[in-house]
Amino acid sequence: AQKITQTQPGMFVQEKEAVTLDCTYDTSDPSYGLFWYKQPSSGEMIFLIYQGSYDQQNATEGRYSLNFQKARKSANLVISASQLGDSAMYFCAMREGLGTSYDKVIFGPGTSLSVIP
């Protein structure tokens, strides 16, 4: 069963506008971490933001913020003031089992974001 769901295969946003990329996850572990990565056309994976399951506040990193709704098991990425360089694939990921033999990171299918001038 898919543990990370990203329901938007592709999205468009106007330059300078804000955009929300959806992510829902499934885990029975009380402790886990949620990540967002960006993959531009060059192929490199770029870490954007992290949210811990016990963190009280939503994570923010510059123009990126993570809208964490624990009860709904959702971890949406919000990009404010979109730039042309934001055009890329975006992956939501979850790490669970920290420090155990099943300490692993799994990814969603990704969302392709295109920023329109």
Contact residues toward other proteins (CB under 8 A) are 4, 6, 9, 32-33, 35, 43-45, 47, 50, 52, 91, 93, 95, 98-110
For residues 114 and 10, the answer to whether their CB atoms sit within 8 Å is yes
Closer residue to other proteins in complex, CB, 12/47: 47
Closer residue to other proteins in complex, CB, 81/98: 98
Nearest-approach distance from CB 80 to other proteins, in angstroms: 21
Residue in the structure block whose two tokens are 């098991």: 73
Residue in the structure block whose two tokens are 């967002």: 36
What is the phi-psi region of residue 48: left when phi exceeds 0, alpha when psi lies from -120 to 50, beta otherwise? Answer: alpha
Closer residue to other proteins in complex, CB, 99/117: 99
Nearest-approach distance from CB 19 to other proteins, in angstroms: 19
For residues 16 and 82, the answer to whether their CB atoms sit within 8 Å is yes
Work out the number of other CB atoms within 10 angstroms of the CB of residue 61: 12
Q: Give, for 48, the enclosing helix (H) or strand (E).
A: strand 46-52
Closer residue to other proteins in complex, CB, 41/117: 41
Nearest-approach distance from CB 15 to other proteins, in angstroms: 26
